Amino acid sequence: MFSYLLRKLGVIIPTFFGVTLVSFVFIRLLPGDPVLLMAGERGMTEERHALLMAQFGFDKPIIVQYGKYLGDLFSGDFGTSIITKQPVLEEFFTLFPATMELSIVAILLAVCVGLPAGMIAATKRGSAFDHVVMTGALAGYSMPIFWWGLLLIIFFSGILGWTPVSGRISLLYYFDSVTGFMLIDSFLSGQQGAFKSAVSHLILPAIVLGTIPLAVIARQTRSAMLEVLSEDYVRTAKAKGLGPSRVIGLHALRNAMIPVITVIGLQVGVLFAGAILTETIFSWPGIGKWMVDSIFRRDYSSVQGGLLLIAAIVMIVNLIVDLLYGLINPQIRHTD
Amino acid sequence: MRKTKKLIAALCGASLLTIGAIGAQAKTFVFCSEGSPEGFNPAFYTAGTSFDASSRQVFNRLVEFERGTTVIGPALAESWDISDEGKKYTFKLRKGVKFHTTKDFTPTRDFNADDVVFSFMRQLDPEHPYHKVSGGSYEYFNGMSMPDLLKSVNKVDDYTVEFVLNRPEAPMIANLGMDFASIHSSEYAHAMMKAGTPEKVDLNPVGTGPFQLVAYQKDAVIRFQAHPDYWAGKAAIDNLVFAITPDNSVAYQKLKAGECHLVPYPNPADLDAMKKDPDINLMQQEGLNVGYLAYNTKVAPFDNYKVRKALNKAINKEAILEAVFQGAGKIAKNPIPPTIWSYNEATQDDTYDPAAAKKILEAEGVKDLTLKIWAMPVQRPYNPNARRMAELIQADMAAIGVKAEIVSYEWGEYLKRSKDENRDGAVLLGWTGDNGDPDNFLAVLLGCDGVGGSNRAQWCYQPFEDLIQKAKVVSDPAERTKLYEQAQIVFKEQAPWATIAHSVVSKALRKEVVDFKIDPFGGHIFYGVDLK
């Protein structure tokens, strides 16, 4: 297991350096520069432009800038936003708990609904339930997040008045952030109704962000289960007189889980991408919107730092997924 | 309505619990702001979102625009004198003005001349100890050419300050009403410098304004509380909350649900529904902006004003207003908006007449003319859809036999390339006024100094230049008005631009909001606003 972990880390470290290079170069390949964008229609003189470029260090050759960036990274300095003048790491970790909280709830929702739905659809192949699940999954996968979010807001918040329109908690509640996770902080605050308010604010964004992963998990579970259910060992188990719950739960599901876990791992990246739109619609103060704003403003430090941190998180999650394979199927540890 | 009352009641309760003892009748105003401010020092930024959260609530300036107008009046300065040669401005400061008390700072003295000198010298003097704090780049201050204009800012006594200029500049007073000219506490700055945390001055602002910052959660909420000792009297609303809501459709839903009182930028598609909603009051006013198509007057045949006039006659502005502004605009005939003083009502716009346009081109010997139309890649108040506008102009040009090609670049590139004096093509662009002075449009956008820069028409026409230069140094408003009116006539004759439209600004408010006024500069000012 240890050598397996080492092999995986051997892949992650060069990937991490690759990400630093890609994030550093790509943002600079975009036309326009942050200084020009800061000035807008008002513009600025060539001299002032040159002065500010030098002040931010953008006048140096790109390789020198990259070298400095790597040096700073090793000393734990992710840079300072040229727009807000705040350290990138501080901005990221102020906003990240909101994205993480939303993503965790969204993926839990997707797994808790998608997994059983896919399993039941597979065992009842061709039934009305199967058709409903597959059609729903296709619709969920194809739906534009923006449209879906607005639709839910108009219906549940506007017409029915069941959920709040946007935000993380009602403006009624005001307390200092302890963990950055609103569910925990609202609970710790001890203010009556704060936790309930945080939960009610989380429902719609979690549904919207969880929809695509839910659809993918349901479809993947169904197809993996169908494949496993047709295997000889399942037929043998049935012939031995095992009940359906033991056959499916013990023999079929465990073997069907490998591709499903792969898909769940891959959905972490999808969640970060989906968070950009979901956070914008629901005024959710997370890193998705922050990244988009940073890209539009050519805030190089924020984009580089943000991309690197997101990539690191996705890599760690995928490492955990890889380790889970090993736990589920020990063969992988030996053959990979 | 019921929900709003519930919300307000709830907020009042929360305010009592959290913000402090405000009283049983505490009123809370919730503003669905469109985004997070870049920061809280208005001297660093140029975006209205940052000014709304800082200069317009937390700070005052020596002079300020009367709410809802472009008329400048006294604020922290009670009066001022301008020397005969127009190079020295002496301000008498208001006494008894209190700064905010925050968790970082308790002021020991009232506002005085030291604060004024600090606020300007920080931006002007590269050797000032605060000049480089927070990576200071004072874009508005520089953009308004203040380093060239200001020679020094001197304290005469505790309540008298003089500004010495390098040259006479009639719009100087209007410039001092702008956001970058907000007055900070020098006592706070010194205290923070001494404590080794000078950047706190920019993060946790201390001003003399009607509201003080209580808390900020990025991309979520900004909380302000009325300044109890505000020099002009405490604000009618006790708490001001910015609920940051980037999507306008969502903001509209929040307004309907009573979760906020004001939506600053409603979607044009929602305006009809808003007008019909009994709980919503939709306010509309012409914006302080102009959208235009600037020819390159240095390149033939666009160096011929008759050719430019012909092309102007080919553009169907009514169709643009309908398709691009969806009715939320007004045809522009002058290069300044009608809300600015000296707007010349008497000028005649180029009438839409493709047949006449064709004849003029023939008479000038222009055949097989091709034209590049530059379409901005971004949405702006003065041009909500430049691509669509360019397509309509392209069709208009085709109707008179001019082959037009649409080009576009990334926004930063667009701004850079469009400045080129040898640029190929006419540029769609616009301008939103900074200080309500005609000079801010006419000199910046059409003056000879702007050629190769903000003057996208690359137009340097001496009769026009003489008028606007004279208006810069004359201090008599009536005489300035005459000069600018004349300049607009010259502009119209020479047609360096096709003036397209001024946008109409819309604000959606809950019915219970009282005395809100649309700010011509695009800001949102909550002092003077009340709730029924």
* A286 to chain B, closest Cα gap in Å: 8
Give the pLDDT score at A232: 86
Residues B496-518 pLDDT 10s: 999 999 999 899 999 999 999 99
Lowest-pLDDT range, A208-222, B136-150, B188-202, B350-364?
A: B136-150
Residue, of B401 and A254, whose pLDDT is higher: B401
Q: How much of chain A exceeds pLDDT 70, in percent? A: 97
* Beta carbons of A55 and B135 less than 8 Å apart: yes
Q: CB count, 10 Å around CB of B405?
A: 13
A194-229 helix and A128-142 helix, angle to the nearest 10 degrees: 120
**DSSP labels, B463-501:** HHHHHHHHHHH---HHHHHHHHHHHHHHHHHH-SEEEEE
Q: CB count, 10 Å around CB of B233?
A: 10
Q: Which of B214, B193, B221 is nearest to B32 (CA)?
A: B221
pLDDT band at B13 (very low <50, low <70, confident <90, very high): very low
Whether residue A212 is predicted with pLDDT greater than 60 in this model: the reply is yes
Contacts of B256 in chain A (CB under 8 A): 158
Whether residue A11 is predicted with pLDDT greater than 70 in this model: the reply is yes
* B483 to chain A, closest Cα gap in Å: 24
pLDDT band at A335 (very low <50, low <70, confident <90, very high): low
Contacts of B38 in chain A (CB under 8 A): 83-84
Q: d(Cα A247, Cα B370) in Å, to the nearest integer?
A: 76
B-contacting residues in A 67-96 (Cβ below 8 Å): 80, 82-85, 91, 94-95
Dihedral sign computed on CA atoms, order B107, B110, B113, B116: positive
A58 by Cβ neighbours in 10 Å (0-12 / 13-18 / 19+) ranks as middle
φ, ψ at A309 (rounded to 5°): -70, -40
**Which two three-digit tokens encode residue A282?**
């629901």
Mean local confidence (pLDDT), B394-410: 94
Residues B252-271 pLDDT 10s: 999 999 999 999 989 888 88
Whether residue A184 is predicted with pLDDT greater than 70 in this model: the reply is yes
Interface test with chain A among B12, B137, B217, by most A beta carbons within 10 Å:
B137
Q: d(Cα B275, Cα B281) in Å, to the nearest integer?
A: 7
**DSSP labels, B318-334:** HHHHHHTSTT-EEE--S
DSSP-assigned beta bridge partners for residue B429: B292
Residues B194-219 pLDDT 10s: 999 999 999 999 999 999 999 999 88
* Beta carbons of B453 and A43 less than 8 Å apart: yes
Residues A296-307 pLDDT 10s: 888 889 999 998
Residues B37-71 pLDDT 10s: 989 999 998 888 899 999 999 999 999 999 998 88
Lowest-pLDDT range, A90-94, A166-170, A185-189, B326-330?
A: B326-330
Q: What ipTM, to 2 d.p.?
A: 0.79
- pLDDT, chain A, mean: 87
* Beta carbons of B253 and A175 less than 8 Å apart: no
Residues A224-269 pLDDT 10s: 989 888 888 888 888 888 888 888 877 788 788 888 888 888 887 7
pLDDT band at A199 (very low <50, low <70, confident <90, very high): very high
- pLDDT, chain B, mean: 91
* Beta carbons of A82 and B257 less than 8 Å apart: no
Give the pLDDT score at A245: 80
* Beta carbons of A158 and B257 less than 8 Å apart: yes
Whether residue B11 is predicted with pLDDT greater than 50 in this model: the reply is no
* A142 to chain B, closest Cα gap in Å: 22
- Looking at the complex, does the CB of residue A154 fall below 8 Å from at least one CB of chain B? yes
Instruction: Output the CA angle A303-B39-A72, nearest 5 degrees.
Output: 40
Which residue intervals of B19-59 are DSSP H helices?
Answer: 48-53
Residues A163-177 pLDDT 10s: 999 999 998 888 888
Which among A37, A98, A174 has CB closest to B14? A174
Q: d(Cα B361, Cα B384) in Å, to the nearest integer?
A: 31
Interface test with chain B among A152, A159, A174, A278, by most B beta carbons within 10 Å:
A174
DSSP-assigned beta bridge partners for residue B427: B294, B374
Mean local confidence (pLDDT), B426-448: 92
